[in-house]
Chain A
Amino acid sequence: MKLRLKWLFLPILFMSLLIFSLSYAQNKFKLKPDAKGKLCLSCHDNFKEKLKNQFIHTPVKSGECSECHNPHTSSHGKLLDADPNKICNKCHEGIVPKNPKSSHKVVTEGNCVKCHDPHASNNKFVLLKAGNDLCFDCHKNIGETVAKAKFKHNPVEKGCINCHDPHASTKAKYLLKNDLVVLCVTCHKTDQPNFVKQHMNYPVAKADCSSCHNAHGSDKAGILFDNVHQPVANKMCGQCHEASTSPDALKTKKAGFELCRGCHSSMMNDTFSKNRIHWPLVDKVGCLNCHEPHASPRKNLLMGEMKSLCGKCHQDTMGLQTRLAEKERQEKAAAKDNVMKGALTHNPIREGNCEACHTPHASDSVFLLKQPSMIELCGTCHDWLKHTSHPMGEKVADSRNKNLRMNCLSCHRSHGTGYQYLIPFPTVTDLCVQCHKQYKR
């Protein structure tokens, strides 16, 4: 009997604890019945106007202000009950699925208030703005493209969320709701005669639509990207690909640079006449390492902005620039009103203009430099005669090494070093005494 009572006592104790904790959680500030939001509004009078909005956040609607705010004290701004970047997750935990293929940066950072009003709004999902205006606040370039486009893509006009998931996607990059081709063919029926005709009878149903078309709209008919490869514009797919009737129709007629050489022979001949070649040009992928074969929003059909394109392989160089830019930013912030002399980064690299110094295909000079003389190359931007009176040129030997001649790189490193003026030593004195040893202290 004693044992039976014991077994009965334990569940009762457990249930009591559960009821207590639930009731505590629901009213942890022991507010009087009927108090809740009304009590808050007695002081926050201007908030009443907010509540007249069409869409109200559920806890606000039910007057549960203490779901998010602590009425007494808090370590966070606006008396928030938790870290502002994490507080939404208390209720909206699964907003970013596990292992997404892409996720919206503001969401992963917990910056929900960039898009949503935490209290109320006249837009669905308590969004700050309606429709695409909200997205274009940040994605300005796309907004401009969409606004200016002569040929518009209907789903974009209707709303970005037709194709994109604003929080995260488990299926595709760029927050796309599905794999690009799957997404496109939901509207564009690939077996329609007009579609087949427009694509010159080539079996493109499973091809990457974005290799030619700008889904956000374009000034070119068929919303092709602004820069179209001539054979594509002329609908002469067979110039590069096997015949459309071939079982391997999308295969190119030749591999790598050999395919491009057919039309771009003079450029190729010029490239191959140089002493040094940019090696990826002659590998298996060839020109397509950097250029799009069909169309591109960028000049010369480049695959991406030069900074990211070159950085794809030269990660060390671009990584250094990122680190130096951050260091520069910190040093400038620390210097406050004092003007900082000597940059840590080199303008062309920071701006992603690698072509200012290098030729992308081939050169007779090391590092594929545009000019054989380093002094002349730097002189295209820097008036070095005004900058320095130090002897330089082919007749001036470097005292550290008789095989070297004095030029700009004798003292500077064009990609930066972490020290001002792009010199490889902390101070100018440290640099000078490398040669002028008599002044070394």
Chain B
Amino acid sequence: MQKSFKKVESWNIGGLEYWARRSIIPLFRYSSLIILLISIFFLPLKSFSAETVKFKYLQSIYFDDRGGGIKQPEGVACNDKSVLVIGDTGNDRLLRYTLEEKNLKAGTEIKIPQLSNPIRVQLNSKGEIFALDGKKRRVVRITPDGSFKSYVDPEGMPAPAAFVLRSVKIDTNNNIYLLDIFSARVLVLNSEGKYQKQIPFPKEYGFFSDLAVDPKGSVLLVDCVKAMIFFSAKDSNSFTPLTRSLREYLDFPTNISTDSRGIIYLVDENGGGIVILGQDGSYLGRQLSAGWNEGLLNFPSQMSINEKGEVFIADRGNSRVQIFTLVK
């Protein structure tokens, strides 16, 4: 102790001496203590952010409000206003529910001639429904009261003009993202359907089955053949791999979604489970497994998660939609 003080004195830098004695020297002296304190207080925070979430089963939806059974549903969407929309694919219709305090209400049928075979469903902040028609491969925009508004056909889109839509996503600003597999790109439209930009697919890929938009506005693509995720930051115009092949964790990922923290959820259709990844693509865990009983999945198709941590999964093979809640 005395020795180091003497060393500081020998610097002979006048007014800094007092500061050095008071600040720098104790800092060195207690450095190990400081490191220990940082470890105690900050590391748990880091591990909290990467903590694996678990799904707790709440209930299943089997019927509409008239007691009609759901048949092979492939789409499901929810918002933070407790609205839930199911793409009842096998019955060529949508079903609209509200879930308040774990109480499920209504189950109103939305059946319009412009929509058959709804395979992907999305909701915007105004409560409008966007459903991808698997037969016509067009996105239908439906008003909150359940009537047809328009088809989502990109306005002012540059060449190539041809497109085939495989999926649709809506971000928090109501921008529309379309997965165009024919011209190998993601089309970004504003809330009115006007073209904003396009992001070409990467050079090397297998087949993109879905896209997601995270809270930062980054676009994610899931490659079901290579079992990989590709990433494009908000202002970027290209995709880069976010993960290597995730084949060891899943069989055939066909749907991707993110929560408000940016955690990524992949629906493993053939494997009957949900794989969870961190924002950086790191593997955080796998939830649920294949089967018939409640809480198990049979060829799940789409997953949706809201701010409350409620998870909705279109359990196609079991002809139901299952509701889970996230627990830590």
Q: Which residues of B contact A258 (CB under 8 A)?
A: 162
A255, CB-defined interface residue at 8 Å: yes
Distance, CA A424 to CA B293, complexed state (A): 13
Distance, CA A26 to CA B319, complexed state (A): 77
Interface size on A, residues (CB 8 A): 27
Q: How far is the CB of B266 from chain A (nearest CB, A)?
A: 14
- Asked whether, in the complex, the Cβ of B292 is within 8 Å of the Cβ of A317, the reply is no
Distance, CA A256 to CA B163, complexed state (A): 11
Per-residue B-contact encoding for A239-280, CB less than 8 Å = 1, 0 else = 000000000000000011010000000000000001111011
Q: A275-B116, A315-B225 in contact; A404/B207 too (CB < 8 A)?
A: no
| Best-surrounded residue of A400, A404, A434 (most CB of chain B within 10 A) | A404
Q: How far is the CB of B10 from chain A (nearest CB, A)?
A: 49
**CB-nearest residue of chain B relative to A276?**
B134
Q: Which residues of A contact B71 (CB under 8 A)?
A: 403
- Asked whether, in the complex, the Cβ of A403 is within 8 Å of the Cβ of B166, the reply is no
- Asked whether, in the complex, the Cβ of A403 is within 8 Å of the Cβ of B184, the reply is no
A-B complex: 8 closest residue pairs judged by Cβ atoms: A403-B319, A316-B251, A283-B181, A403-B69, A282-B164, A284-B184, A313-B225, A400-B292
A428, CB-defined interface residue at 8 Å: no
Q: Which residues of A contact B182 (CB under 8 A)?
A: 255-256, 282-284
A105, CB-defined interface residue at 8 Å: no
Q: Can you name 19 extra interface pairs (CB under 8 A) apart from A256-B182, A403-B318?
A: A255-B160, A258-B162, A275-B116, A279-B181, A280-B207, A282-B164, A282-B181, A282-B182, A283-B182, A283-B207, A284-B184, A312-B225, A316-B270, A316-B271, A398-B292, A400-B292, A401-B292, A402-B62, A402-B69
Distance, CA A404 to CA B72, complexed state (A): 9
**CB-nearest residue of chain A relative to B293?**
A400
Q: Which residues of A contact B72 (CB under 8 A)?
A: 366
- Asked whether, in the complex, the Cβ of B137 is within 8 Å of the Cβ of A282, the reply is yes
Q: Which of B116, B134, B252, B318 contacts A401 (CB under 8 A)?
A: B318
- Asked whether, in the complex, the Cβ of B62 is within 8 Å of the Cβ of A401, the reply is yes
**CB-nearest residue of chain A relative to B90?**
A366
Q: How far is the CB of A288 from chain B (nearest CB, A)?
A: 13
Distance, CA A188 to CA B160, complexed state (A): 39
Per-residue A-contact encoding for B153-167, CB less than 8 Å = 1, 0 else = 000000010101010
B206, CB-defined interface residue at 8 Å: yes
Q: A314-B252, A316-B251, A316-B270 in contact; A275/B206 too (CB < 8 A)?
A: no
**CB-nearest residue of chain B relative to A286?**
B182
**CB-nearest residue of chain B relative to A409?**
B317
B117, CB-defined interface residue at 8 Å: yes
Can you list 19 A-B contacts with CB-CB less than 8 angstroms, sorted by A residue number?
A: A255-B160, A255-B183, A258-B162, A276-B117, A276-B134, A279-B166, A283-B164, A283-B184, A284-B184, A315-B225, A316-B252, A366-B299, A400-B292, A400-B293, A401-B292, A401-B320, A402-B62, A403-B319, A403-B320
State the majority secondary structure of interface residues on A.
mixed
Q: Which residues of B contact A (CB under 8 A)?
A: 62, 69-72, 116-117, 134-135, 137, 160, 162, 164, 166, 181-184, 206-207, 209, 224-225, 247, 251-252, 270-271, 290-293, 299, 316, 318-320
Q: How far is the CB of B127 from chain A (nearest CB, A)?
A: 27
Per-residue B-contact encoding for A392-405, CB less than 8 Å = 1, 0 else = 00000010111110
Distance, CA A95 to CA B111, complexed state (A): 69
Distance, CA A258 to CA B69, complexed state (A): 39
Q: Which residues of A contact B183 (CB under 8 A)?
A: 255, 284
Distance, CA A275 to CA B164, complexed state (A): 15
Q: How far is the CB of A303 from chain B (nearest CB, A)?
A: 15
Q: How far is the CB of B214 from chain A (nearest CB, A)?
A: 24
Q: Which residues of B contact A313 (CB under 8 A)?
A: 206-207, 224-225
Q: Which residues of B contact A317 (CB under 8 A)?
A: 270
- Asked whether, in the complex, the Cβ of B134 is within 8 Å of the Cβ of A275, the reply is yes
- Asked whether, in the complex, the Cβ of B135 is within 8 Å of the Cβ of A255, the reply is no
List which A374-428 residues lie within 8 A (CB) of chain B: 398, 400-404, 424
Q: How far is the CB of B315 from chain A (nearest CB, A)?
A: 10
**CB-nearest residue of chain B relative to A289?**
B207
Q: Which residues of B contact A282 (CB under 8 A)?
A: 137, 164, 181-182
**CB-nearest residue of chain A relative to B271?**
A316
Q: Which residues of A contact B116 (CB under 8 A)?
A: 275
Distance, CA A6 to CA B13, complexed state (A): 60
- Asked whether, in the complex, the Cβ of A366 is within 8 Å of the Cβ of B316, the reply is yes
Distance, CA A277 to CA B137, complexed state (A): 10
- Asked whether, in the complex, the Cβ of B207 is within 8 Å of the Cβ of A279, the reply is yes
Q: Which residues of B contact A402 (CB under 8 A)?
A: 62, 69
- Asked whether, in the complex, the Cβ of A284 is within 8 Å of the Cβ of B181, the reply is yes
Q: How far is the CB of B227 from chain A (nearest CB, A)?
A: 8
**CB-nearest residue of chain A relative to B133?**
A275
- Asked whether, in the complex, the Cβ of A403 is within 8 Å of the Cβ of B70, the reply is yes
| Best-surrounded residue of A312, A317, A403, A424 (most CB of chain B within 10 A) | A403
- Asked whether, in the complex, the Cβ of A275 is within 8 Å of the Cβ of B181, the reply is no
Distance, CA A401 to CA B184, complexed state (A): 40
Q: Which residues of A contact B117 (CB under 8 A)?
A: 275-276
**CB-nearest residue of chain A relative to B166?**
A279
